Structure 1
């Protein structure tokens, strides 16, 4: 499915309202099962590719024991994800600008992803962050967020490229939200094969008694109890 057709299946107003209320919104079946499994296979296919034409290839990284493997796409996103990322950015810019306004921030995001990435580079942020993760039995991803650098887009996308209870067990996608003087709020985000979720990257505005204030969020994947889980994180800003 092309990126524009995929996005037009969803109600932008309803997605924005859920992001405001929860800090995440699920997009069911963004990828059909064939597309999802083809993306998951990139873990082995792209890691083995030689560097051609001077480009920076995807690179496979063994992380700390128990945290699985990561495939960094660097500057070489596959065509499907390249088009999807640009289209989703345009779709999410109104939400991102509204969140900045509610938080009392003066900066606003440009309409096009390329313009925003140019601003990243001028700020010294040259390292793409989009990647695949592969977790096997006993692996997990600890709570984390992607807020490195001065230029941070407040939304990102995660997707599940394996089928729960068939390809793997455990491995739930979870988020926590930390509000001042309150206990952290845990959330389990239900994802099926091919589902994606738009999530707050690191912070979001929440309405309080005296106006809006910002809360901090992190996300993680719980321990995989069996099988193999492949997931995608798609970021809209580069890191230093």
Structure 2
């Protein structure tokens, strides 16, 4: 790992999160805030990585692919310390939620106890490309509603962390979540990410109560148009890409 700050502190903040309350909130809404995971200084250090080519395996121009407007960059391995530390610390906290959801939906739960074991399974299935990303939006940029699947093996939860101060560094750019409810109109959620705070949300779908017990409600996420300034976010997906 490439150092960007002193080790351990981000993982301690992950551990201090009330994960029981978070699990209840994500059950209710499909997403839930973690509280502060990074300090403003750490946020600035991560955002500054965007201009360092050596940390990334590829860059995606969203307008070119009709994904929206703006750019994001996929990290290459070895990851900078903070993204690596957060991903390692978050996986075991999210794992019980993932397994509970699989049980409700009567699906397999293929996720081992450690992130390293899970990524090894991804690699054996041909999903070998790292998926943590750093996103940068400027005025007029936005991200279309989508799901980050990347292959047959999918971890059902992911995390985004705001790196800039909403209202000061940028305006607009709300995180959007749209849930397609069984036999009903879709439900939308809009949130502003405080600097250094994380948001856990569902990758593909989530269990919702239905007349038959539990049904899978498909969920997509995106970002509304940034009006002014510059918005950076760190995206942590827990499965690799084919």
For normalisation by structure 1, the TM-score amounts to 0.92
Asked if 1:89 corresponds to 2:91, the answer is: yes
User: How far, CA to CA, are the matches of 1:167 and 1:118 in structure 2?
Assistant: 39
Return the offset for 1:159. 1.0
Return the offset for 1:138. 0.7
Match of 2:25 in 1: 18
User: How far, CA to CA, are the matches of 1:190 and 1:164 in structure 2?
Assistant: 7
User: How far, CA to CA, are the matches of 2:232 and 2:169 in structure 1?
Assistant: 9
User: How far, CA to CA, are the matches of 1:30 and 1:57 in structure 2?
Assistant: 23
Aligned to 2:207, the other structure's residue is in SS state strand
User: How far, CA to CA, are the matches of 1:57 and 1:8 in structure 2?
Assistant: 28
Task: Please say if residues 133 and 230 of structure 1, whose CA atoms lie closer than 8 Å, have aligned partners that are also in contact.
Answer: yes
Match of 1:233 in 2: 235
Match of 2:63 in 1: 64
Aligned to 2:36, the other structure's residue is in SS state coil
For normalisation by structure 2, the TM-score amounts to 0.91
Match of 1:38 in 2: 45
**Residue-pair matches, total:** 232
Segments of structure 1 that go 5 or more residues without pairing to the other structure are 50-55
Q: Which moved more, 1:5-14 or 1:211-220?
A: 5-14
Match of 2:154 in 1: 152
User: How far, CA to CA, are the matches of 1:128 and 1:31 in structure 2?
Assistant: 22
User: How far, CA to CA, are the matches of 1:63 and 1:13 in structure 2?
Assistant: 36
**Residues 172-205 of structure 1: per-residue CA shift (max 9 Å, x gap):** 1110000122111000123111111011011111
Task: Please say if residues 46 and 82 of structure 2, whose CA atoms lie closer than 8 Å, have aligned partners that are also in contact.
Answer: no
User: How far, CA to CA, are the matches of 1:76 and 1:186 in structure 2?
Assistant: 36
**Residues 116-142 of structure 1: per-residue CA shift (max 9 Å, x gap):** 001001111112211111111111011
- In the TM superposition, 1:1-240 aligns within 5 A as 2-44=9-51, 46-47=52-53, 49=54, 57-64=56-63, 67-240=69-242
User: How far, CA to CA, are the matches of 1:234 and 1:165 in structure 2?
Assistant: 24
Return the offset for 1:62. 3.0
User: How far, CA to CA, are the matches of 2:112 and 2:94 in structure 1?
Assistant: 11
Task: Please say if residues 171 and 223 of structure 1, whose CA atoms lie closer than 8 Å, have aligned partners that are also in contact.
Answer: yes
User: How far, CA to CA, are the matches of 2:117 and 2:91 in structure 1?
Assistant: 11
Match of 1:53 in 2: none
User: How far, CA to CA, are the matches of 2:11 and 2:142 in structure 1?
Assistant: 33
